[in-house]
């Protein structure tokens, strides 16, 4: 079994520059199978994905290498934001690696709607590891991909806001998992 601590080596072997990866990890009080399904079932993703206050308005997934997860979010002010994952590797209940980017409603890659210097693409991974007591550690790792020096710096400077956004997303996942387990027990 893999270590429960995040690997400190970079995932971004195809990137240029020496920027550190963004890494965030959290242990969820839920079995790995349920956590995996929360990340791989587009209907389940609708119930928790995205920053706090956002609503998922579209969630479509083709879970296979080369497949795409395309989603749309609605912000509290009504603005729409779209994104996509292009899956590179999937090891069931253990790991998925993908290229993530902002997109338009049709799935075309586009710039961050609020920051034009944000990288067009990021190489990202989610890992899922068993923890004692039937819990699961999820580690998110991202690095700027095919990025200019300016884009890499913007990404590096954005780690604090990414940590806040992912923190809120993980809070929503924790609440979803608790509700799902409660629902399954009744």
User: What are 69-126's pLDDT values in tens digits?
Assistant: 999 999 999 999 999 999 999 999 999 999 999 999 999 999 988 888 999 999 999 9
Nearest C-alpha neighbor of 86 from the set 105, 59, 68: 68
What is the value of pTM for the model shown? 0.87
40 pLDDT band, cuts 50/70/90, is very high
Q: In the chain, what are the domain boundaries?
A: 23-185
Task: Kindly state the average pLDDT of the residues 20-48.
Answer: 97
Task: Kindly state the average pLDDT of the residues 45-61.
Answer: 95
User: Domain 23-185 is classified in which CATH homologous superfamily?
Assistant: START domain (3.30.530.20)
Q: What is the pLDDT of residues 132-172, one digit of tens each?
A: 999 999 999 999 999 999 999 999 999 999 999 999 999 99
Using the predicted structure, report yes or no on whether residue 8 has a pLDDT greater than 50.
Answer: no
């Amino acid at each position: 079994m893999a270590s429960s601590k995040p690997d400190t080596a970079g995932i971004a072997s195809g990137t240029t520059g020496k920027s550190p990866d963004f890494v965030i990890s959290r242990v969820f009080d839920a079995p790995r199978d349920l956590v995996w399904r929360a990340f791989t079932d587009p209907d389940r993703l609708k119930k928790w994905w995205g920053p706090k206050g956002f609503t998922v308005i579209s969630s479509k997934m083709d879970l296979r290498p080369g497949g795409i997860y395309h989603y749309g979010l609605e912000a509290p002010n009504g603005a729409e934001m779209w994104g996509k994952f292009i899956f590179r590797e999937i090891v069931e209940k253990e790991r998925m690696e993908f290229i993530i980017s902002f997109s338009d409603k049709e799935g075309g890659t586009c710039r961050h709607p609020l920051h034009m210097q944000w990288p067009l693409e990021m190489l990202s991974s989610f890992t899922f590891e068993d923890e004692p007591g039937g819990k699961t550690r999820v580690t998110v790792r991202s690095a700027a991909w095919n990025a200019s020096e300016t884009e890499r710096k913007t990404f590096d400077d954005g780690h604090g806001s990414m940590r806040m956004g992912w923190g809120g997303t993980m809070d929503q996942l924790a609440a979803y998992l608790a509700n799902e387990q409660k629902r399954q027990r009744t």
